[in-house]
Amino acid sequence: MKKTALLSLVVMSLFSFAFVPVTISKDKDKVATKLLKEVSKKYKSYKTLKAEFTMVTEPMDTKAAKKTEKGALTSKGSSFKLTFGGQEIFCNGKYIWTYTKETNECVKDNYNPHSNTGLNPAKIFTVWEKGFLYASDGSYKKGNTDIAKIKLTPTDKTKPYFLMNLEVDQSGKTVQSLKVSFKAGHKQTYTMTSQTPNASIDDKNFEFVAANYPGVEMIDLTKKKK
């Protein structure tokens, strides 16, 4: 079986600068808590969400070039579709299909929302709800928009990252960007370029249809598991 990588927006891969411990009080910041609860409430009110984003990777070597990629996410309940890095990932809440354009192969597997690679990427919009301490980190103006900055640190110190920098539209209560700093020394910044809530989306959009990909090689891992 050819090697196929499963991409995720929250449990992400490599980034810049050496690991520097970040200390945040165990008492969660009241201002940050209030804002994040409002943001969570807004996203959870959506029946569906379509979002486009860019991801900028800063390698550990500051002299090396940054890499910019574009992606798109469609989410509906536990179902999602993610297009990113030459892959299309379909999930209907039961199965997950990972299609790789370069090799024209698709791997089908059982979906486990609790595994690192099985995490619904739409959770980037509520990632702070479990396993994080957070604190306000100031604000700034972006055009006419007031942007709040919030630091998130994982309570599980075995995580591959040690800090997330979240930026939120204070009036719109929407996530604008998320920068993840990894212990390995690299950083990735996800910036939302568009967000469309409550669009009409057919459930069929979250399932891989082989007929739409002529010559695709199918690898079904669900048949090997009881």
pLDDT tens-digit profile of 93-125? 999 999 999 999 999 999 987 765 555 667 788
Contacts of 165 (CB under 8 A, 6+ apart): 137, 149, 150, 151, 152, 178, 179, 181
Confidence (pLDDT) at 36: 94
pLDDT digits 0-9 by tens, 174-202: 999 999 999 999 999 999 999 999 999 99
Domain spanning 30-220 has what CATH number? 2.50.20.10
pTM: predicted TM-score of the whole model, two decimal places: 0.81
Confidence check: pLDDT of 211 > 90:
yes
Q: What ranges do the domains of the chain cover?
A: 30-220
Q: Which of 71-85, 115-129, 134-148, 195-209 has the lowest mean pLDDT?
A: 115-129
